[in-house]
Structure 1
Amino acid sequence: MKFAILNSQIIERSEARVDVEDRGYQFGDGVYEVIRVYNGRMFTANEHLNRFVKSSASIGITLPYTIEQLTQLLEELKEKNNLQLGTIYLQITRGVAPRNHPFPTEEIVPTLVAYTKEVGRPVESLATGVTTILTEDIRWLRCDIKSLNLLANLLAKQKAAEEGCFEAIQHRGQDVTEGSSSNIFIVKNGTVMTHQSDNLILKGITKDVILDLCLKNNIRVQERTFTLDELAQADEVFLASTTAEVMPIIEIDGKKAGDGQPGPVTRKLQELFVQEIERQCGNL
């Protein structure tokens, strides 16, 4: 992908540079979003950008752009790169200032960066399911902010990768929270359960789409904390994220999840999710 956004300008990606004293680089002082593109159209863009605004406000960054302006910029970037199937990465930092832990006292301009990437749908994994591990959740207590501070997530994901697994399911003591880059769902007796959207998890955009699809299609839902024992005894387990969509989990720590196959409720939600993609973005 040849072009990127630096602040309000679309420029050659090779020319995009940020200052070494940008607070995103030195402190992780910023937030980000990843938006899926299908058939050249952004999927749930407004929801992602609203969360972007909320995350920014949560750490005291005032966006110098409206959602409409951001949407237009991203549309132009997508068209410039002729992106048909992939993602748009968007981040904003507090800006450039001499390195000091407190916020700068002088007024500085936030740094906006965005770029695109071609990313196919994980169709094989969606069909067969993926394996996972369990790991203690060591993250901070404001996981609802989509912060650039992802070191704990990276350590969990790396542990999964070293075990040859797709994802790490995190837990605080006996309570399951979410994956290192996904929301986690279980199904028991036909009821879909997932952690309530509070400060311990990211309020996933894909998660919200799934919950809405459940409500519209008479699939029972509970947003509540569930335990490691409930996870182990679930009939079905799946994860959800922008790039993984509705992904069946067939193994956790070397043991079968459910019967070790993608289950019927998961399959139904995959079907409904594809229908929602096609409603917004056209046929896959």
Structure 2
Amino acid sequence: MSRIVYVNGAYVPEEEAKVSVFDRGFLFADGVYEVTSVLEGRLLDFEGHMRRLRRSLAELDMAAPASDEELLEIHRELVRRNGVEEGLVYLQVTRGAADRDFVYPAGVAPTLVMFTQEKQIVESPAAERGIRVISIPDERWGRRDIKTVQLLYPSMGKMMAKAAGADDAWMVEEGFVTEGTSNNAYIVKGGRIITRHLGNEILHGITRAAVLRLAREAQMEVEERPFTIEEAQGADEAFITSATTFVQPVVAIDDVEIGGGRPGPIARRLREIYVEEARRNAV
């Protein structure tokens, strides 16, 4: 059965969904996106995703296509129409369609596209066994804090990892880890959770914020600072967070096993806490 997707005010079968060839998201990657997870038919961290969406739009001087309340209703309607119990809702906003020109067009309505994907998130084999990552240079543009659709280099990073027999890649800039290709990166040393501080160099992860809050509430020590691949290889544990992986252990970095090559207790506990919290507070 075909999915129902949302395009500029209409719910349509995916085969009928169309966007102009002059859309600036297609021509310039002039757009932003959010991915909200669905658990038991409800949305996780929705307010956080909308807050970050508004920030991304403001940073690019791009008009909002709808209010948060309207976007919530569209999310819920897509989940309902597609019968999604577990998975995600993808939202993309572009500056809209206009003749190709590097200068932002005036008076153009933004394009809003949304669709669902079914995905098993909670019972994840990767979370049980952990993932293996490689390190690669971070060659993205400087404003990684804006969640744009410019994802070619992260996609290349995923393919580099695949070619190396790994699951993902951690990007390195000026000797320090920035983040994963589609996730925030962490290590654990002596019971302390270490992750890079917020800045233009990394995406301000919504799951990151929730997990760090929950860690502090659980009396875990958190240190926000850069770390190197060498420090990570000597850590007790490592893990990643994202909207669609929650907390996922990392068991090897550049073929050096972390924690004996097995998921560690802090990553496991944080995943349990996050899932419990998500079930309580989903909307």
- TM-score (ref. length: structure 2): 0.96
- Alignment-mate amino acid for residue 184 of structure 1: A
Aligned length: 281
Match of 2:226 in 1: 225
Name which of structure 1's ranges 157-166 and 37-46 shifts more when overlaid on structure 2: 157-166
- The gaps in structure 1 that reach 5 residues or longer are none
Q: Does 1:114 align with 2:82?
A: no
Contact 1:170–1:180 at 8 Å: present in 2 too?
yes
Match of 2:81 in 1: 80
What is the Cα deviation at residue 278 of structure 1? 2.0
CA RMSD of aligned residues (A): 1.3
Match of 1:92 in 2: 93
Match of 1:186 in 2: 187
Aligned ranges 1:32-181 → 2 under 5 Å: 32-104=33-105, 106-121=106-121, 123-181=124-182
CA distance in 2, matches of 1:274, 1:2: 27
Contact 2:36–2:243 at 8 Å: present in 1 too?
yes
CA distance in 2, matches of 1:171, 1:154: 16
Q: Does 1:251 align with 2:252?
A: yes
Q: 3-state SS of the aligned residue for 1:251?
A: strand
Q: Does 1:18 align with 2:19?
A: yes
CA distance in 2, matches of 1:30, 1:3: 22
- Alignment-mate amino acid for residue 7 of structure 2: L
Match of 2:270 in 1: 269
- Alignment-mate amino acid for residue 118 of structure 1: E
CA distance in 1, matches of 2:52, 2:70: 15
What is the Cα deviation at residue 281 of structure 1? 4.1
- Alignment-mate amino acid for residue 227 of structure 1: T
- Alignment-mate amino acid for residue 28 of structure 1: A
Deviations along 1:231-251, one digit per CA (max 9) or x if unpaired, are 121111001111111111111
- TM-score (ref. length: structure 1): 0.96
Q: 3-state SS of the aligned residue for 2:201?
A: coil
Contact 1:190–1:220 at 8 Å: present in 2 too?
yes
- Alignment-mate amino acid for residue 108 of structure 2: I
Q: 3-state SS of the aligned residue for 1:238?
A: strand
Match of 1:237 in 2: 238
- Alignment-mate amino acid for residue 203 of structure 1: H
- Alignment-mate amino acid for residue 208 of structure 2: K
Contact 1:8–1:73 at 8 Å: present in 2 too?
no
Please list every run of at least 4 consecutive aligned residues from structure 1 whose deviation after the TM superposition is greater than 2 angstroms.
none
Q: 3-state SS of the aligned residue for 1:197?
A: coil
CA distance in 2, matches of 1:278, 1:41: 9
What is the Cα deviation at residue 177 of structure 1? 0.5
What is the Cα deviation at residue 228 of structure 1? 2.2
Q: 3-state SS of the aligned residue for 1:54?
A: helix
- Alignment-mate amino acid for residue 189 of structure 1: G
